[in-house]
Amino acid sequence: MNVSNYSPCPAINQWEKAGASLTSTLKNYSKLCQTLGHDSLSEGARPDDLATRISSALEVHAALSRELIGCTTALQKARNKLVSPFFKLPEEIISTIFIDVVYDFNDPNAPDFVPPSEDIWLLYRRLYQLVGVCTSWKYIAMEETKLWSMILFDQNHPTQRQVSLQRSGSSKLYLAAFNPSPTISRKLINILTEYGHRFYAINFEFNAGDNAVVRDLIATLVQGNTSSSLTELSIRAASAYYMTTRPPEPSDYIIPHDHPQSDSFKNILQNLTTFRTSGALIHWDNLAFSTRLVELWINKLVLGYDEKVIPFIQTLSSASNLRNLTIISVLTFHSSVSVPSMGTASAQHVQFPHLQSLFIQDIYFNTLRLLLPTIAPGSHRLTFFLSPKNLRFNRVEDVDSDDDELEDLADVDFTVLCKILEFIRIDTLIISGFNGFGVDVWLTGTMIYQLLKVIPTLKTLKLDYWIFNQDLWENIRPLWTIQDNSNETPVLALENLYLTAATIPDIQGFQEMVINQSLRRVVLGGAAHRVDRTVSSSGRFQEGSSLVKWLREHVKEVRVVHMIDRLDEVYSDSWRLW
């Protein structure tokens, strides 16, 4: 635009005219002030009267000075905003940036796991930091209703809850509610009644055994017309460990059979796209999901005896458009009378036509041998977190056993487990040697060889708290070694290798594996040796170390993590906001 042809808007014209008038008036006033004493006294003014008038004028000067300071501040802010590259962005883009900053839960420097309530307070801290930067940022943040859409309900912070509800405008809301008492809070009922139609997600936590709280919640959701807007529901029963030692009793279920709220609960589930549950016992054989459900996360669930596994999977398959399925610590009790045969399980393949990812962790053998073969093969990526439980039957008489004492408890031969896995297409395998105190390498080199040999589809191997010694490399070397005159391909063809809190005393064996596997990505954390069962800081793997330099020469993508960092999947069973 040609500046010479630019015609200022009326606001600029008014401001410039007022400024010119102020300047002219101030010049005239300055001259009068300089001659006031001489001229007024020569004209017969009384000195005491003049002094009083001057004192009044000086007070006016002080007020004018404050006004001028305010004008200067306002103009400086306006100028700085106009010349700042950030404020040249449209306000909608700035709001989007603010939302991304406030709701970013992928901070690599954050603790591995924090409770959902701490995540929410982290969100609030970020929000108020933005508000405190400057007036312009405060205005944008206050007007962006999505920044205030996270509603925390607990017993201690009612003020923040009300502030968020007021500033959220008409935005859809996420409610994180923690109800520690055996009866539902009247304040929570009031919130759900008044704002229920705006909640798209509810994350509800209660104490195990206080099942009436859940039933009251469902009744309130229906009365407040929340069921029509709710698309994400998360329910967690805290301290539910006692229910894992025996088959469920009727009183353990959050909603008994034929309860008046049973149909209401089913109707709520029909609208969901995401359902997450941990520790809450549900009559799964009495449920059916809709085509809307795309994500299902199940943790700490007691089904009963083994015969419940196949009906449970069949219920899950009613969500025909399910894309992401996570099954962690789903428990059944072994019974020689009620256990279906392996042939029965494989013959009753259950289809998940749109499934993209399946995550399995912490499952006893008697449950696993039915669960894995029942899920029909497909194009989905299966991530299997191998654990000592996979080698144990869960029996009712084992209730007094100490899970930390693995000796003499492995009542399944490892070859039997491998025979089951041989027919399962596994994309990612995870193994951890952490026992709560340090390293417990519970698989021998021979066992790892047997395992990897039956999983030719394996693309990603993730090992946590593991020791890579000579015994391991010597046992698994045949998996990638082929004869020069052979037309066979190596059994193992990994693309990604993750090693966290690892010990690699045999660097040469590790390098041989890397070269022969043609890896695309390596994530490495740990050290060359250990002291007193902990990772030693001496010889740790870090940027600039000889092994990391070597890896960068042979692998396309290398990421080095802290020596005590763990795999993300180690915390997969942790209760989170989303």
Q: From CA 293, how far away is CA 317, in angstroms rounded? A: 10
Q: What is the pLDDT of residues 287-342, one digit of tens each?
A: 999 999 999 999 999 999 999 999 999 999 999 999 999 999 999 998 764 455 55
Helix or strand or coil: residue 375?
A: strand
Q: From CA 74, how far away is CA 545, in angstroms rounded? A: 54
Compute the C-alpha angle 383/492/572, nearest 5°. Answer: 15
* Domain coordinates in residue numbering, the chain: 427-578
Helix or strand or coil: residue 189?
A: helix
Best CA proximity match to 332, nearest among 355, 346, 313: 313
Q: What is the pLDDT of residues 468-527, one digit of tens each?
A: 888 888 888 888 765 444 555 567 889 999 999 999 988 888 898 898 888 999 999 998
Which pLDDT belongs to residue 531? 47
Helices (H), 382-517: 414-421, 445-453, 470-476, 507-517
Per-residue confidence band for 395, with pLDDT thresholds at 50, 70 and 90 = confident
Task: Report which secondary-structure segment, H or E, holds 65.
Answer: helix 47-83
Q: From CA 23, how far away is CA 405, in angstroms rounded? A: 88
Which pLDDT belongs to residue 488? 57
Give the bridge partners for 305, in sequence order.
333
Per-residue confidence band for 183, with pLDDT thresholds at 50, 70 and 90 = confident
Say if residue 205's pLDDT is above 60.
yes
Which pLDDT belongs to residue 517? 84
Say if residue 346's pLDDT is above 70.
no
Number of H helices, E strands in the chain: 17, 16
Per-residue confidence band for 345, with pLDDT thresholds at 50, 70 and 90 = low
* Parallel/antiparallel/unpaired status of strands 381-386 and 357-361: parallel
Task: Please state, in angstroms and as integers, the Cα–Cα distance from residue 206 to each residue in 180, 183, 231, following that order.
Answer: 6, 10, 20
Q: What is the pLDDT of residues 538-573, one digit of tens each?
A: 578 889 888 999 999 999 999 999 888 888 888 888
Q: What is the pLDDT of residues 105-144, one digit of tens each?
A: 776 666 666 777 788 888 999 999 999 988 888 888 999 9
* Parallel/antiparallel/unpaired status of strands 460-464 and 428-432: parallel
Helix or strand or coil: residue 43?
A: coil
Weakest-pLDDT range from 225-229, 408-412, 443-447: 408-412
Q: From CA 400, how far away is CA 186, in angstroms rounded? A: 40
Task: Report which secondary-structure segment, H or E, holds 77.
Answer: helix 47-83
First to last CA, the chain: 49
Best CA proximity match to 348, nearest among 370, 332, 365: 370
Q: From CA 184, how far away is CA 213, in angstroms rounded? A: 5
Task: Report which secondary-structure segment, H or E, holds 319.
Answer: none
Q: What is the secondary structure of 391-413 as a DSSP string?
A: G----GGGTT--TT--TTT--S-
Q: What is the pLDDT of residues 21-39, one digit of tens each?
A: 999 999 999 999 999 888 8
